[in-house]
Amino acid sequence: MSHNRLYEFEVLHEIAMAIGVSLDRDGMLGHCLPLFLRRLRCTSVTVLADGPRIVMSAPRSVDIRSLLPQLDEALSSDDPLPVPALLRNDRHYYLWRLEGFGALVLGRARPFSQDLVQEIAQLAKRLAVALHACEEHARLNDLVRETTWQAHHDDLTGLHGRRFFLERLDTLGSTAPDAEKGFHALIYLDLDQFKIVNDTAGHMAGDQLLQELGARLRSAGCEADTIARLGGDEFGILLAGTTEDGARGAADALIRVVRTYRFEWQERQFRIGASAGIALFDGSENDVRDILAAADTACYMAKERGGGRVQTYTTHDGELSRRHDEMHWAAHLSGVIERGGFALYAQRIQSLEDDPAGRIEVLVRMQDRPDEEPVLPGQFIPAAERFGLMGAIDRWVVTRTLALRDEPERSGHRVAWNINLSGASLSDPGFLRFVTGKIRDHVPEPGTICFEITETAVVDNLEAVSAFIHELRGLGCEFALDDFGSGLSSFAYLQQLPVDYLKIDGRFVRDIASSPSDRAIVESIHHIGGTLGLRTIAEYVEDTTAMEILREVGIEFGQGFHIHQPEPLEHLLSSGEDDTGAPDIAPMPGAVHRVQ
């Protein structure tokens, strides 16, 4: 092999090694193009993309834009390449196609040998492969960046999204703030009156408002570590290293930004407000869910107390603690409802006259697993009511209760069963269709199913409740008005409701032996009920003395620990004691309240 051929071989090998050394296109070309100049004695080297357009040239001072028309013509022809396509200013310009990309253009004072032209063609093939790899790598990088941005940001407002916010909150939750500051803070910001914009101007207007407001919150100057849209019209703001006063000041500033904002849409102007809840945390093993729930609870309380204000979460605030507990139960309840994790209990209602007919009230407990202690409704019902879950619980209770009545080995089909219904269910047309369907499917004897409704539910929606009662009474069901006397308007609407029983609020029964005023109220309720043809049931019957007084007054039925302690419904049915009335049962020591 001649000295020149050996040199060319080494040069071509060096250039080949430089091609593909990086998946960054500009970096790779910036490394290998100068080798064409130095090692192959080229005067210029250019990589063209289809078009043609210049991707990179070396040296930088070279300008071959004037040659692009002739180069394009050569690339468009059917003539085989490489060819010495051009001769300009004593320079020979050679072209090699870069398959699927463009072309490699080398300028040289002297012509290449034919052997070298063919060998450079092999380099061009390798360069084309490397350029395609760089393009794919760049495309994947762009996709990763876009996906990452979308994962971390809210598409509508451009603010950070919920996922990134929770990741950042988790980081702050395990990072101690400066001793001088003492806290990190989460501000939960919820817009007031936003629903008015959506309902009156449409969702496009609502989206536009959120976009504009997002930009204003971003530039609010509250020194936020992170500002995010958490969903709907709710925003989260994280402050790293602050004080309680600093957090309240930032929350006040954000509320002012919202309050002073005027949204214009189709020649209409809207004003909205905001409420904010603050949760302070110090980086000592904080749970992200607890921090977020605390701030959400505080924000909820701020709205309940009038809106447009800031509420800081503290465990010393009894109302806040109750709301926090309700949110915890609501999160847990969703799974329990899906699994049907409830159990039915029952408590006998005893006739205080000579009526032998049996009657029980069906009660619900949360019991997700058989080995768990049942949870009393007082712990989870408030959360279910507040977060719209009572309808699902009522459906489960009705379905399970009627199914138990139909089992042939049960004696309970001869007993009247009282079933509690929530106010939310009573005002839901879908629930009325559900219950009427169940009653028609199971066909209980008339008078053996009695639905208990609360006075509060009636007051909230008298017209819907009346329609519900009329429909089901037509199918043989009865109704009892529960906790009667607890409201101020009890007697005012009683004539409008076709109920069959009044259940006297237990607080008037519990101390009836020692309180003349309570006895007078019970006597008045019984008298009014009798006048309207209604029978009365006294709750919270806890001792023999109270039971005798109720008999003297003329109350028809009694219910309480003195009569029967609630037990699993299936146990009661299996015992056979539910169909003939209640045997005497000694009161539980210290039992002074009714368990629902």
Q: Which domains does the chain have, with CATH numbers?
A: 3-150 (3.30.450.40), 162-314 (3.30.70.270), 340-579 (3.20.20.450)
Q: What is the pLDDT of residue 100?
A: 85
Q: What is the pLDDT of residue 489?
A: 52
Q: What is the pLDDT of residue 590?
A: 34
Q: How many residues does the structure list for the chain? A: 596
H or E element at residue 467: helix 462-473
Using CA atoms, how far residue 272 sits from 22, 41, 192, 252, in Å, is: 54, 72, 6, 15
Nearest to 279, CA basis, from 245, 232, 247, 317:
247
Q: Helix, strand or coil for residue 347?
A: strand
Nearest to 314, CA basis, from 277, 351, 263:
277
Per-residue tokens: 190: 């919820």
Q: Helix, strand or coil for residue 268?
A: strand
35-39 — which CB contacts under 8 Å span 24+ positions?
35/11, 36/106, 39/11, 39/14, 39/15
Nearest to 278, CA basis, from 320, 306, 318, 319:
320
Other C-beta atoms closer than 10 Å to the C-beta of 588 total 12
Please list the rounded mean pLDDT of every run of 10 residues in the chain (596 residues). 60 76 84 84 89 86 79 73 62 86 88 84 88 87 81 90 92 80 90 89 93 92 89 94 92 94 91 93 77 89 88 68 65 83 94 81 89 86 84 94 78 77 90 95 92 82 88 95 71 78 91 91 91 92 94 94 93 68 38 36
Instruction: Determine contact, residues 344/331, Cβ cutoff 8 Å.
Output: no
String of b and e for 180-202 (b: at least 16 CB within 10 Å)? eeebbbbbbbbbbebeebbeebe
Phi, psi of 517, rounded to the nearest 5 degrees: -65, -40
Instruction: Determine contact, residues 485/505, Cβ cutoff 8 Å.
Output: yes
Per-residue tokens: 441: 């499917």
Burial of 432 (0-12, 13-18, 19+ CB in 10 A): middle
Cα separation, 245 vs 34, whole angstroms: 62
Cα separation, 581 vs 565, whole angstroms: 14
Cα separation, 417 vs 359, whole angstroms: 6
**Nearest 5 degrees, angle CA 201-CA 207-CA 213?**
105
Instruction: Determine contact, residues 123/115, Cβ cutoff 8 Å.
Output: no
Cα separation, 211 vs 158, whole angstroms: 8
Alpha-carbon Rg for the chain, nearest whole angstrom, is 40
With a threshold of 0.75, does the pTM exceed it?
Answer: no
Nearest to 232, CA basis, from 281, 175, 296:
296
Cα 593 to the chain's mean position, in Å?
A: 37
Burial of 542 (0-12, 13-18, 19+ CB in 10 A): buried
Cα separation, 14 vs 3, whole angstroms: 17
Cα separation, 306 vs 299, whole angstroms: 11
Cα separation, 60 vs 33, whole angstroms: 11
* Residue 111 DSSP symbol: P
Which strands form 501-504's sheet, in the order they lie side by side? 350-351, 557-558, 535-538, 501-504, 478-484, 449-454, 416-420, 359-366, 342-348, 567-568
Query: At 413, which amino acid appears?
Result: H
**Nearest 5 degrees, angle CA 368-CA 372-CA 375?**
70
Q: Which residue has the tokens 């005027």?
A: 262
Question: How many C-alpha atoms does 458 have within 13 Å on its Cβ side?
Answer: 27
Instruction: Determine contact, residues 347/569, Cβ cutoff 8 Å.
Output: no
Other C-beta atoms closer than 10 Å to the C-beta of 372 total 12
Per-residue tokens: 161: 């999204």
Burial of 350 (0-12, 13-18, 19+ CB in 10 A): buried
Instruction: Determine contact, residues 282/177, Cβ cutoff 8 Å.
Output: yes
Q: What is the pLDDT of residue 9?
A: 65
Per-residue tokens: 553: 């007054």
Q: What is the pLDDT of residue 318?
A: 55
Q: Helix, strand or coil for residue 406?
A: helix
Other C-beta atoms closer than 10 Å to the C-beta of 308 total 16
H or E element at residue 529: helix 516-531
Q: What is the pLDDT of residue 33?
A: 87
Alpha helices in 77-188 (DSSP H): 114-152, 162-173
